[in-house]
Structure 1
Amino acid sequence: MTYDLNDAQPQMSGELIPDGTFAKVAMHIRKGGVDGAGEADRQLLKASNQPGSDVLSLDAEFTVLEGAYARRKFWQSFTISGGKVDDQGQSIGWKISKAAFRAMIDSALGLKPDDMSEEAKAKRLLRGLSDLDGISFVAKIAVEPARSSAYRDQNRLAHVVVPTAPEWQKVMNGEAVAAAPDAKPRPAAKTETAKPAWANATPTAPTPPAWNQTARADATQQPALTPSPAPQPAAAAKPGPAWLNG
């Protein structure tokens, strides 16, 4: 089978979407292999990779749909269960995620947050979290500074823009909206702590006892044996095309 790469799209640049950008995005759920609470959410959630953590999360991929940053992507996880709890024993992370999911529905359907009519309430009912897959809404995108110099900054969902915000209607109409970065201090990158001078000193070898010095001197007078060269194994053929193996 041959592959025609002439119609492939150009590579995306590694530049981040500017902090505070307003855009219409679509959310796609990346299944994590862990069952959720209902049949609709089988294999939907993702377990934490932190030892001892009981957090289950929703792994989301966001794609900008329109404007100067169309087709650009960023990723974010939403806690569904586990982690720190409040005074009532409820997961704090889930409460934050639940608020974001409701805002996504309000933004997608043009519902005002204070609309508690029966019709609006019915639209906020989900058969499962999998119903959120493919939802499109207006978002404010942030740049999250890296916590360590070993990592890069990344885009995150700052918050969902609901219909009561002035930017919502402008984005829905296809108008350009000026970015509004949040003023927040950048955390200091973690660096290795310098070692004290005594830790950098090169240890000296202990002097052997007198009874061992004679034996060591005799050993140095013995002719050194030259080992036979080991046979070289035949070079294994590298798989794949020549250009792949350099």
Structure 2
Amino acid sequence: MNGSSRPIWEVTTLLKLNHLSVHYGAIQALKDVNLHVEEGEIVSLIGANGSGKTTTLRTISGLERKSGGEILYQGKDISKTLASEIVKLGISHVPEGRRIFPRMTVFENLEVGAITRKDKENVAKDFQRSFELFPRLLERKNQLAGTLSGGEQQMLAIARGLLARPKLLLLDEPSMGLAPLIVEEIFNIVRDINAAGTTVLLVEQNAHLALKYSNRGYILKNGYIDLEGYSKDLVNNDEVKKAYLGG
């Protein structure tokens, strides 16, 4: 400690949303959202389509602009920071639908992920780490990304996000459209990524999976936080069971 009077949460909290609101014209997509992500956690954001999950991630990463509130990253408000600068600060966003470059090779897609980095000597090590996490990408590194399977494209999207060497990975709907076995494989890799030191904020419609792999969760409903808690408690919550777990 340096003897400063900083609040305790600033020491360990990587991300904090304070009363965050977002409008699309007259429509309010997020309403007074408060959440926090501690260093080393996997935090899940669960909700139905249109509840505001993707908007939350896009606003954190600078792709949408807030209409009210704060986005604090390592204690500093980044809500007016350009998306390109937010990547440099250590936040990497793996978007819904993967958004890989189909006419570029796997290797070229990964190079895009490292484009903002200046520490070129470490980039090669991170490429190697990506290929260790996703051996299939090594096998297909010279293949056009558009010819990959859906699961391989999701692996590529995550690997590309990691090439920015983020402290915080924003992961949007990684299970979408994938076979159950592939989904399980990807979520196990996400757990490995987290164990290696990357904090994860996970948006996921599959509440079973999200709560299985996360430390804590937030339930978004119509743009506001309806419930929050430890994942093990949310799994046993009657309201969550009824609305999201089919129980």
More helix by share: 2
More strand by share: 2
Say yes or no: TM over 0.5.
no
Shorter-chain TM band:
under 0.3
User: When the two structures are superposed, what TM-score results if normalisation uses the length of structure 1?
Assistant: 0.25
